[in-house]
Structure 1
Amino acid sequence: MIARRRLAGLAVVLPALAAAALTPQSSARAEDGLEPFVPLLVELPGWKAGKPGGVAMQDYGSRIVMVQRGYARGEIHVSVQLLAGPPAQSRLATSGTGLKTEASHGPISASTIDGFKVTRTFQASDKSGTILVALGPAAALSLAFKGLGEDEALTTAKGFDWKAMQTALK
């Protein structure tokens, strides 16, 4: 009886292991973890950077990357996320269409900056918002801020190397 259970368990596990072994690896292998991505969340001049964290994994050819780092300058806080795979796709799907629109959380505008589609929200009452940079169809940089003006938030987002991020997430 026990031998049959072990054989039945192996019948389930072995095909999964074989499929995983045959799955092509991307340029950033799962075993690399966050190492290829953490250096992209650079120290920003004038900001105190928190410790980066997140997750990077690959499962049957699908890669998920979510790396984040917080930044502070006095009472001003910025949270930056580098995303790839389904998390990026869902964020990009909700981004603007190129038109300036008004939503309950403030205006949404989309434009192209340095060849990248950039979607911005801004709430003037508390100087908060988000900047979403499309780095590809399944890759994005997200910057959420509070206490910054809209232009200063964009300047802060430009402090990151979008092209290097795009290359790392391909």
Structure 2
Amino acid sequence: MIARRRLAGLAVVVPSLAAAALVPPSPARAGDGLEPYAPLLVELPGWKAGKLGGLAMQDGGSRIVVAQRGYERGEIHVSVQLLAGAPAQSRLAAGGTGMRTEASHGPASTTTIDGFKVTRTFQASDKSGTILIALGPSAALSLAFKGLTEDEALATAKGFDWKAMRAAVK
């Protein structure tokens, strides 16, 4: 019965999280559970960082984290999300199979970098794409960008401490 209630709760929460991901992040407030993740979404040299936003909740043994922060450098925009729980699991499931594929939004490829499974998409026409780093079976770092080359975006993603993030969301 408890498992059904948790699943029913997730059925309500997951669509809300998807909608929240489309809205610009709201500033983090004291007590909302984001404080442990704030040091992980670091200031990047040469970038103007926005405020930390998102949500963090825990219900018994289930945890959901969506900590997000935007970064700007002139006309270039990057949105970074640290995800744990159901939001990460759904993103990772769509993350790729390890094969290079071609889709309407551009090519997608999955490789291993420093022991982490990394899935990348890139659209050359507007220099946009995503990088998804699997931090564990239910944790991920997602970087969406516009105005960067694929290599610049990967270098930006490497500006975050993936190992510290993996430890924080275990």
Tell me the TM-score normalized by structure 1: 0.81
Alpha-carbon shift at residue 60 of structure 1 (Å): 2.3
Amino acid corresponding to residue 69 of structure 1 in structure 2: R
1:78-104 superposed Cα distances (whole Å, 9 cap, x missing partner): 000000000000000001111111000
The residue identity in structure 1 corresponding to 2:86 is P
Q: Deviations over 1:5-32 (max 9, x none)?
A: xxxxxxxxxxx9xxxxxxxxxxxxxx67
SS in 2 for 1:36: helix
Secondary structure class of the residue paired with 1:160: coil
Aligned twin of 2:131? 131
**Letter matched to residue 38 of structure 2:** V
Residue in 2 aligned with 1:7? none
Cα distance between partner residues in 2 of 1:52 and 1:35: 9
Stretches of structure 2 lacking an aligned partner (at least 5 in a row): 6-30
- Aligned position for 2:76: 76
8 A contact 2:32–2:55 mirrored in 1: no
Query: Is the radius of gyration larger for structure 1 or structure 2?
Result: 1
CA RMSD of aligned residues (A): 1.2
Counterpart amino acid of residue 143 in structure 1: L
Give the letter for the 1:86 counterpart: A
Runs of 4+ in structure 1 displaced over 6 angstroms? none
Structure-2 residue corresponding to 1:156: 156
Counterpart secondary structure, 1:66: strand
- CA deviations 1:105-143 (Å, max 9, x no partner) are 000000000000000000000000000000000000000
* Amino-acid identity (%): 82
Q: Which amino acid letter does the alignment assign opposite residue 140 of structure 2?
A: A
Structure 2 partner of 1:104: 104
